[in-house]
Chain A
Amino acid sequence: MMQRNKRRNGRSGIPPMILFLIITFFIIVGAGLLAPVIAPVDLAETDLTKRLIKPSFLDPLSPYLMGTDNLGRDVAVRLLYAIRETVLISFSGMMIATALGTALGIISGLSGGYVDMAISFFTDVRLSVPTTFIGIILACILGAKPTTTVLVITITGWSSFCRLVRSQIIQLKKAAFIEASRSMGAGGLRIVFEHILINIASPLIVQITMELSGFILLESTLSFLGLGIEPPGTSLGVMVSSGRDYMLTHWWLAMIPSVVIVVMILQISLVGDWLRDRLDPKLKNRS
């Protein structure tokens, strides 16, 4: 993983680079979420007379910022809706997976014994089944719809959180400050929430950012394979998938959503990396 130890040059506050990444990320996500307000259109509407128009950055005369696709729909508008769908799916999947994985990890790490063995067994089972395979099976059973994709993300995502939290808790359980805290009269729940969870927050946040980029990719992969969002609905994966047929002649159709995916993942990963350093108190107050 990322072992680079970035030295921040500012004493405190957010470095401009990170601020830029965060702001641009929220602009992308915000534009996506506001898509129905910014461009209220019917996604199913097509106009074959306007199909495959070049984007304005290639042809200055074109009225379309990002051109049109093979059915004559504005790529820029579709891109907004695609971001919206992808963000909604991967974020909700991430939240459920994190909550589930963390809860199971806490139970597993704290209780030990048979409970721990059972949960660890299921974690291993889950990790040994390929993600796409789970996606295909669930899509076959439940049909290709957004909730299926959320479910796939949840089912595939919880295990890594569970493992991380469990290992951290087993380590922390023996830590002297936990015993010290108990000897000062702190009860079980207080220790879990105020000492254990806070201490595993930074690895957990880093894990979340890493997994989140994975979830965005997973959503795109499933949609690309036709297992996620189905046309006329759209997501970044659907756009890449449908643009793939025109790769040689109209490369921007697949390239634009791909670039958005790459940019979003980079933003999340870099901010996550920075957060990890930031949350480590040993690196705080160091210039």
Chain B
Amino acid sequence: MNQKENALLSLQGLKSYYESRDGSEVAAVDGVDLELYPGEIVGIVGESGCGKSTVVRALMRLLDPSSARIAGGKAVFCGKDLFGLSEREMCGIRGKDISMIFQDPLSALDPVYTIGDQIEEILKAHEHISESEAKEKALELLREVNIPSPELRLNQYPHELSGGMQQRVVIAIALACRPQILIADEPTTALDVTVQAQILELIRELRDKLNIAVILITHNMGVVAAICDRMLVMYGGVVVEEGTCKEIFKAPKHPYTRGLLAAIPSIKEEKEELYTIPGQVDVMKVPVACCRFYKRCALAADICRRSEPELKGEGGHLCRCYMAADGAEGSSGGLGFGKEALHG
């Protein structure tokens, strides 16, 4: 694979540790590799606390320095290591080359400025343009994200818009400077289902139009299935399974992924109870020397307790498990596993 050369962004062994109250360090992200190519949407999936948000915050260097640190790894963007840049250079990259949108659009917008002001702010921060040009461009951006009567919206305050509209504004701001990478941290979690679909559709549309790469963080498998090309399943700070969405949905390998898929309620099948993965995400104190999932895993064997499996596989479908099921088992295998875990 010589693809590595033309990757837009490549994370190599990214580690980010949080300091816990007793002074020991907890690995929120413990060695994550990720390659991102222009025009693709990569989903990072996992339950709360698995480190998915920390990955992108670390790569944007937005972690709170008083509690978290980047403990290792590289983030190479266009030949530059982001972790080696000065804060000033990093400011020039954030918003211009790599943009980010957040979960709750209302709180991501400054309440005291109008929509227009906030779009113009980022334009003026990264480009030398005049007041009237900025206004013109802001209007254009609002049209691009399909906001009705954009002239009116320019002079409105964030709280005057609906949630879906606010998220559109946030996307307009994020895309104002034509970034190459858009990071979406749970962009639809705070929205209701119909609006979710619209926002996802908008993200896909803009990806097609602008050929940007998108990292989409979510805990919702449905969202991943809807728009992602590739996906990373994270657990306990590491990637446990990686591959194209098609492959993973068809033949999940890691027990955790299979559990996640089994937990999606289906209308075709009548279930007495919804499947849940027993237990909760464990706190990962470094160094970790076992499979991170073994306490919750129905397939856990002795070897899982003794050493951590490698992320390996063929044809880009990687899995971090000693007990990895063969692809042939299919998605029904995943569900079968689910019942087993529930009743056993």
Residue numbers of A with Cβ under 8 A of B are: 112-113, 175-177, 179-187, 190, 194-195, 198-199, 201, 281-282, 284-285
Establish whether residues A184 and B111, one from each chain, have CB atoms under 8 Å apart when the complex forms.
Answer: no
Interface residue? B104 (CB, 8 A):
yes
Interface residue? B93 (CB, 8 A):
yes
Establish whether residues B91 and A180, one from each chain, have CB atoms under 8 Å apart when the complex forms.
Answer: no
Interface residue? B100 (CB, 8 A):
yes
Question: A180 contacts which of B66, B92, B100 (Cβ < 8 Å)?
Answer: B100
Produce 1/0 per residue, B156-186, CB < 8 A to A: 0101100000000010011000000000000
Interface residue? B60 (CB, 8 A):
yes
A-B contact pairs, 22 of them (CB 8 A): A112-B66, A175-B107, A176-B102, A179-B62, A179-B102, A179-B108, A180-B109, A181-B110, A182-B94, A183-B62, A184-B94, A184-B95, A184-B173, A185-B92, A185-B93, A185-B96, A186-B125, A187-B88, A198-B110, A198-B112, A282-B159, A285-B160
Residues of B contacting A282 in the complex (Cβ-Cβ under 8 angstroms): 111, 157, 159
Residues of A contacting B111 in the complex (Cβ-Cβ under 8 angstroms): 177, 199, 281-282
Residues of A contacting B170 in the complex (Cβ-Cβ under 8 angstroms): 180
Establish whether residues A185 and B112, one from each chain, have CB atoms under 8 Å apart when the complex forms.
Answer: no
Establish whether residues A186 and B102, one from each chain, have CB atoms under 8 Å apart when the complex forms.
Answer: no
Residues of A contacting B121 in the complex (Cβ-Cβ under 8 angstroms): 184, 186, 194
Residues of B contacting A184 in the complex (Cβ-Cβ under 8 angstroms): 94-95, 99-100, 121-122, 125, 173-174
- Give the shortest distance, in Å, between B112 (CB) and chain A (any CB): 5
**Nearest-CB residue, chain B, relative to A196:** B110
- Give the shortest distance, in Å, between A90 (CB) and chain B (any CB): 29
Interface residue? B137 (CB, 8 A):
no
Residues of A contacting B60 in the complex (Cβ-Cβ under 8 angstroms): 183
Establish whether residues B91 and A185, one from each chain, have CB atoms under 8 Å apart when the complex forms.
Answer: yes
Establish whether residues B91 and A187, one from each chain, have CB atoms under 8 Å apart when the complex forms.
Answer: yes
Residues of B contacting A113 in the complex (Cβ-Cβ under 8 angstroms): 66
Interface residue? B126 (CB, 8 A):
yes
Residues of B contacting A199 in the complex (Cβ-Cβ under 8 angstroms): 110-112
Produce 1/0 per residue, B120-161, CB < 8 A to A: 011001100000000000000000000000000000010110
Residues of B contacting A195 in the complex (Cβ-Cβ under 8 angstroms): 110
State the CA gap A82–B45 with chains docked (Å).
71
Question: B94 contacts which of A175, A185, A194, A285 (Cβ < 8 Å)?
Answer: A185
Question: A281 contacts which of B62, B126, B157, B174 (Cβ < 8 Å)?
Answer: B157
Establish whether residues B95 and A177, one from each chain, have CB atoms under 8 Å apart when the complex forms.
Answer: no
Knowing A187-B91, A284-B157, the reply to whether A177 touches B110 (Cβ < 8 A) is yes
Establish whether residues A176 and B108, one from each chain, have CB atoms under 8 Å apart when the complex forms.
Answer: yes
Residues of A contacting B62 in the complex (Cβ-Cβ under 8 angstroms): 179, 182-183
Establish whether residues A183 and B125, one from each chain, have CB atoms under 8 Å apart when the complex forms.
Answer: no
- Give the shortest distance, in Å, between B66 (CB) and chain A (any CB): 7
Question: B108 contacts which of A177, A185, A284 (Cβ < 8 Å)?
Answer: A177
The 3 closest A-B pairs by CB, nearest first: A185-B95, A184-B95, A176-B107
**Nearest-CB residue, chain B, relative to A174:** B64
State the CA gap A186–B88 with chains docked (Å).
10
Residues of A contacting B125 in the complex (Cβ-Cβ under 8 angstroms): 184-186, 190
State the CA gap A194–B159 with chains docked (Å).
19
Residues of B contacting A281 in the complex (Cβ-Cβ under 8 angstroms): 111-112, 157, 159
Using A176-B104, A190-B125 as known contacts, list a sample of 12 further A-B pairs with CB atoms less than 8 Å apart, ordered by residue number in A: A176-B107, A177-B108, A177-B109, A177-B110, A180-B100, A183-B99, A184-B125, A184-B174, A186-B122, A199-B110, A281-B157, A285-B160
Interface centre among B60, B62, B112, B126 (most CB of A within 10 A): B112
State the CA gap A190–B87 with chains docked (Å).
14
Residues of A contacting B110 in the complex (Cβ-Cβ under 8 angstroms): 177, 181, 195, 198-199
Residues of B contacting A187 in the complex (Cβ-Cβ under 8 angstroms): 87-88, 91
**Nearest-CB residue, chain B, relative to A173:** B64
State the CA gap A199–B158 with chains docked (Å).
14
Establish whether residues B159 and A183, one from each chain, have CB atoms under 8 Å apart when the complex forms.
Answer: no
Interface centre among A112, A176, A180, A181 (most CB of B within 10 A): A180
Establish whether residues A183 and B66, one from each chain, have CB atoms under 8 Å apart when the complex forms.
Answer: no
State the CA gap A15–B110 with chains docked (Å).
28
- Give the shortest distance, in Å, between A60 (CB) and chain B (any CB): 55
State the CA gap A185–B122 with chains docked (Å).
8
State the CA gap A201–B88 with chains docked (Å).
27
State the CA gap A183–B109 with chains docked (Å).
12
Produce 1/0 per residue, B266-285, CB < 8 A to A: 00000000000000000000
Residues of A contacting B96 in the complex (Cβ-Cβ under 8 angstroms): 185
- Give the shortest distance, in Å, between A178 (CB) and chain B (any CB): 8
State the CA gap A285–B107 with chains docked (Å).
20
State the CA gap A183–B91 with chains docked (Å).
8
Residues of A contacting B88 in the complex (Cβ-Cβ under 8 angstroms): 187
- Give the shortest distance, in Å, between A161 (CB) and chain B (any CB): 19
State the CA gap A181–B108 with chains docked (Å).
8
**Nearest-CB residue, chain A, relative to B117:** A194
State the CA gap A112–B94 with chains docked (Å).
25
Residues of A contacting B174 in the complex (Cβ-Cβ under 8 angstroms): 184
State the CA gap A195–B110 with chains docked (Å).
7
- Give the shortest distance, in Å, between B231 (CB) and chain A (any CB): 23
- Give the shortest distance, in Å, between B217 (CB) and chain A (any CB): 13
Interface centre among B88, B94, B99, B159 (most CB of A within 10 A): B94
State the CA gap A280–B87 with chains docked (Å).
33
Residues of A contacting B102 in the complex (Cβ-Cβ under 8 angstroms): 176, 179-180, 183
State the CA gap A71–B110 with chains docked (Å).
60
State the CA gap A258–B112 with chains docked (Å).
39
**Nearest-CB residue, chain B, relative to A190:** B125
- Give the shortest distance, in Å, between B97 (CB) and chain A (any CB): 9
Residues of A contacting B126 in the complex (Cβ-Cβ under 8 angstroms): 185
